[in-house]
Amino acid sequence: MSVTYETKSFHKKKSSMAEYFIFGCLTIWNIVMTVRERKRASEFYAHLSLVIFFGAILLVFILSHDALSGQAFVTFPVSIPALRITGIGMVTAGISIYILALRALKTEGNPRKGSHLETEGLVTSGIYRYARHPMALAVLLICLGLVLWRLHIAAVTAYAVLVVFYIIAMRREENELVRKFGEDYREYRKRVPALNIVRGRYRVLNSESNQ
């Protein structure tokens, strides 16, 4: 009995250390990117929101380790295993969307040297046919999946802050894109939703069926 308890405790400690490391690295990386992109408003707000989000989750891990886990932060009467499965699905979907968006930018956007986000041309193909901000959608899905995986009040609050910051970032990016691409982007914005990829897909299918 004692051996079993010690084994479980050891694996739990290893899992906690892995979480500290992963979210610590994500927090540090986004701090670096926030400083690097401080002159680009949209990227600055996006990375700053991720600093707050990942930093909050990291803080939750530290504060809730053993003593507070499941008491001070977890207050929702729901099935945690079911939420974790849903969270993993959202993270997987978010990563897939991000990869598709990155591929479209690299193949169609003629990105500037040293940057995968600064493109010379307006990208409206691939996943950008269905959503104007697929990368933002990907990040929001990934982070929501992580919230469901680690359901804490602090993580939920951090996600709300993330959403607000991303709304600001997307609005600023829209203004930059209008200045850069003019009427082409305004027409694209009328046709394609910002984040609702299902609605965007429906519009494309409806448009193709009417041709």
Question: What pLDDT, on the 0 to 100 scale, is given for residue 192?
Answer: 92
Each residue of 159-191: pLDDT tens digit? 888 888 888 888 888 888 898 889 999 999 999
Residue 73 near residue 154, CB atoms below 8 Å: yes
pLDDT at 94: 92
Whole-number percent of the chain with pLDDT over 70: 73
Flag whether pLDDT at 7 surpasses 90. Answer: no
What are the helix (H) ranges across the chain? Answer: 2-36, 41-64, 80-108, 134-149, 153-181, 183-191, 197-210
Task: Report the DSSP beta bridge partners of residue 119.
Answer: 111
pLDDT at 21: 76
Query: What are 28-56's pLDDT values in tens digits?
Result: 887 887 787 777 666 777 777 788 877 77
pLDDT per position as a tens digit, 43-94? 777 777 788 877 777 776 666 554 444 443 444 444 577 888 888 899 999 9
Nearest to 48 by CA among 36, 60, 57: 36
Query: Residue 117's pLDDT band (boundaries 50, 70, 90)?
Result: low
Distance CA 192, CA 199 (A): 9
